[in-house]
A and B are shown apart, each in its own frame.
Chain A
Amino acid sequence: MAHPLEMRVLTQGIGEVDLTRIENYEAQGGYAALRKALKQMTPQDVQAEVKKANLRGRGGAGFPAGVKWGFLPDDGRPRYLACNGDESEPGTFNNRMLIEFNPHLLIEGILIAAYAVRASKSFIYLRGEFKKGARVLEDAIEQARAKGYLGDNILGTDFSQEIVVHRGAGAYICGEETGLLSSLEGGRGEPRNKPPFPAVAGLYGMPTVVNNVETLCNVPFIVERGADWFLSIGTENSPGTKLFSVSGMVRRPGNYELPLGITMRELIFDVAGGLLPGRTLKAVQPGGASSPVLLPEHLDLPLDFDTVQKAGSILGTAGVMVFDETVCMVRTALYYADFFSHESCGQCTPCREGTAWTARLLRKIERGQGTMEDVEVLKSLDTLMSGTTICLLSDFSKTFLMSVLKHFPEEFEAHIKGRACLAEQPQEVRSA
């Protein structure tokens, strides 16, 4: 049963009805928004409504979708829509749920967005691991086609649209929007310099909109219920609901759809069932691996884009990872360092060398062979790896590390001076 704080909009029916069947999706009002958009609204109307709703991108950056759509130049070239379903940010698993269990909502959102920006074709880029997601979406697309929602002359109008499901094959960087486009064009998923932004020169050099799965899943509701309804949920600058992926040391890990602005305390202690028995809270990453830690003192912080940023972190993907006293921050930083070093595409020296150095130094420290000088080198990487690279992976790769160096210096010292770990780790973790 849903927790009273939960607000099921995008997730309505998930777990109760089989929404992969189009008739069940229609029975709860599905595809009515597409009909409304196509028959009663112009593309400009749809854009205006989404802009008014201030739908902020759910893929990490929080940029308003309606504004982004307005950047496409009107120069007669073909335009494309790419849905970002690469979902690879550690700690994040909400797109996957929407794809596997509410595929028609995503398809409807893509079709409406494609109509709004007058795209000639749409693509869904799925990470390679989402093989089931690809199956579910391919099947849902054929169901939608059979009902006249997709293909030529949708619902008897002169709007036509195809959606192509494209599977990646194991590369985190393909989630970065220009890396995604490079990959979709049939090459290495290497990010490109911006500007030009995808809106101007995206897929095959054409104007392209890239939006996250969850962002697009909000579009049908905004069209159907109106921007004012959307603005009535959440906070002033972060309207709407958000799917929070909660994991780590809580009793009920999972995806929870809640109004933006719910406090971290409500999310962790009410909705996700609280900590494991007898444990104490140490730190929380509110937005995936790329987010700096928040501390127990932040428990009453409302989780919305701007407030979390003011507190020194980012809401990012809302992949909320909860760490208690058994979690070693040095070791956690090492896991991330290995991850980012492996996922760096290698085009930029600060990122390629910096992520590798970080991993090497942290491994040394974690094994009790580090020096306090190593810590200083790590700190110096903060500026060396910032703001000089093609994409933000370099910047993001060290935000967690810098935050724990600041808030938990004693753990690094203990590993170095005492050759000991301060965290009381469960047996299976300590064994390595």
Chain B
Amino acid sequence: MSAENGRAGAERAMENGAAQAAPWWERRAEDVERLIGKYPNSRSAIMGLFWMAQEERGYVSDEDLNWIADKLGLTRGYVDSTITFYSLYHLQPVGKYTIIVCNNVICGLKGSEGLVQELERLLDVKVGGTSADGLFTLQTTGECIAACDGAPALQINQEYFHKVTPERAKLIIERLREGAELEALSEEIGLTKPGAVWEEGD
């Protein structure tokens, strides 16, 4: 998989201009072949191709699924049954940024429900919905996202943000609305540095 999978499809589409002639698998033919070549069996590339499709247009479309089935010599039924096993792939268009709030035990104890309510208010959506400007889709997950020392935690397009108080949630949304680059924003205000000792209860 290409390392630069940080940009959401919508963003890339805007950069490249709306009216795209060639589909992503033609523009990124080299990446596709490199990915498939990594595996002893081409079928293993299926998840990487789903990710690629999702990077390109924000979700995996019907057209993408047909092409992937064809490329790997699999039936469309097999491809459908595979992709639906995994919760991080979108089969419908979503906002440029998908916010997923962790709602497992530790984040629950540290206020994830309040955080979700604050995000619903800030974005004027309910969980599952997309904001009117098309920028944000809000979701929660029952999976622990391996950030419990930074609870409550969330991910935006799989980039981490820790200890997201309502104030910090507001800041994150503001910065993204202003056009901040997601990966850099996560490093800047996502509290991602190692060994940070976060004293609690003061």
Contacts and interface: CB of A to CB of B under 8 A. Distances in A.
Interface of A: 14-16, 78, 87-93, 95-97, 100-101, 121, 127-132, 134-135, 138-139, 162, 164-172, 183-190, 204, 245-255, 273, 276-277, 289, 319, 321, 327, 331-332, 335-336, 338-339, 342-343, 345, 426, 428-429, 431-432
Given A335-B105, A338-B142, 5 more contacts: A15-B193, A166-B44, A167-B1, A169-B86, A251-B201
B3 A277 contact: no
Contacts of B183: 132
A277 B201 contact: yes
Interface in B9-48: 38-41, 43-48
A321 B105 contact: yes
Contact of B81 (A188, A245, A321): A188
B105 A276 contact: no
- Per DSSP, are chain B's interface residues mostly helix, strand or loop, or mixed? loop
Interface residues of B, number: 62
A164 B5 CA distance: 16
B109 interface: yes
A167 B48 CA distance: 7
Contacts of B111: 426, 428-429
B194 interface: yes
Nearest to B103: A335
Contacts of A167: 1, 47-48, 51
A253 B6 contact: no
B41 A88 contact: no
B105 A131 contact: no
A128 to B, nearest CB: 4
Contacts of B51: 167, 169
Contacts, number: 198
B158 interface: yes
Contacts of A432: 113
A135 B6 CA distance: 9
A187 B86 contact: no
Interface stretch (B120-128, B129-137, B145-153, B168-176): B145-153
A253 B113 contact: no
Given A171-B87, A250-B200, A429-B108, A15 B195 contact: yes
A186 B82 CA distance: 8
A87 B146 contact: yes
21 contacts: A15-B194, A93-B146, A100-B192, A100-B194, A127-B146, A129-B145, A131-B6, A132-B192, A135-B6, A166-B1, A169-B87, A169-B88, A170-B87, A186-B43, A189-B86, A247-B106, A251-B201, A253-B151, A332-B105, A335-B142, A339-B142
Contacts of A246: 149
A319 B41 CA distance: 35
A183 B105 contact: no
Contacts of A166: 1, 44, 47-48
Interface string B37-72: 011110111111011000000000000000000001
B160 interface: yes
